[in-house]
Amino acid sequence: MNTAKTYTATDLAQHFTDANFIVAFNEMQEAAAAINQKNGFVAEDALCDQLEKFLATSVDAAHYMQFKPLFPAFRNARAGLKIALIMSELGETLEAVRKNLGPDDHIPGFTAEEAEAADAIIRLMNYAQNRRLRLAEAVVAKNEFNRNRADHSKEGRAAEHGKQF
């Protein structure tokens, strides 16, 4: 009995589109992270790692255990800061829309809305790289999930208590 799944041409095209997106997104994410690192935006993360290693090897176990809980707390606080920076870029995107800002000051070939949305994505890429998240793969998986969600269909949105926007 042949239990192999058969794929349509559309399935295969989508698979290759998704794979190309993942590769290109990951390459862009790595490049953005390299710029971020070169400009010193992750120095505190590295210092935290170095301090933790130093304490682990330089002080007695009791003193190390006293300070050990600070390291994940610091990393979580840094993650929160980075999320807040992503949110600030989205706020700037909203301001660009709200004020109809037109061309961006730094990249005039794009609107301020486009530039600020790009900043948010770049910050999100840096966050994902730093936290070792599989963001590109998650985007593909979430898009596929959303493709067939009942609450995202026209009928689901039109239903009582459906998502209006």
List the structure tokens of 116: 């600020």
Q: What pLDDT sits at residue 134?
A: 96
Asked if residue 55 belongs to a domain, the reply is: yes
Asked if residue 151 belongs to a domain, the reply is: no
C-alpha to C-alpha distance for 21 and 84, rounded to whole angstroms? 26
pTM of the model: 0.79
Asked if residue 152 belongs to a domain, the reply is: no
Q: What pLDDT sits at residue 154?
A: 82
Q: Determine the Cα angle at 83 with ends 31 and 77, to 5°.
A: 110
Q: What pLDDT sits at residue 118?
A: 97
Q: What pLDDT sits at residue 95?
A: 97
Q: What pLDDT sits at residue 16?
A: 76
Q: What pLDDT sits at residue 1?
A: 59
Q: What pLDDT sits at residue 2?
A: 59
Asked if residue 144 belongs to a domain, the reply is: no
Burial (CB count <10 Å: 0-12, 13-18, 19+), residue 150 = exposed
Which among 69, 78, 81 is positioned nearest to 47, based on CA atoms? 78
**What is the number of structural domains in the chain?**
1
Asked if residue 11 belongs to a domain, the reply is: no
Q: What is the pLDDT along the chain (165 residues), one digit of tens a residue?
A: 556 677 677 776 777 788 899 999 999 999 999 998 888 887 788 888 898 999 999 999 998 899 899 998 998 999 999 999 999 999 999 999 999 999 999 999 999 999 999 999 999 999 999 999 999 999 999 998 888 888 877 888 888 887 777
C-alpha to C-alpha distance for 155 and 165, rounded to whole angstroms? 13
Asked if residue 82 belongs to a domain, the reply is: yes
Range of the domain at 72: 22-136
Q: What is the DSSP string of 2-41?
A: --PPP--HHHHHHHHHHHHHHHHHHHHHHHHHHHHHHTTT
Q: What pLDDT sits at residue 114?
A: 97
Residue type, 94: L
3-state secondary structure of 111: strand
Asked if residue 12 belongs to a domain, the reply is: no
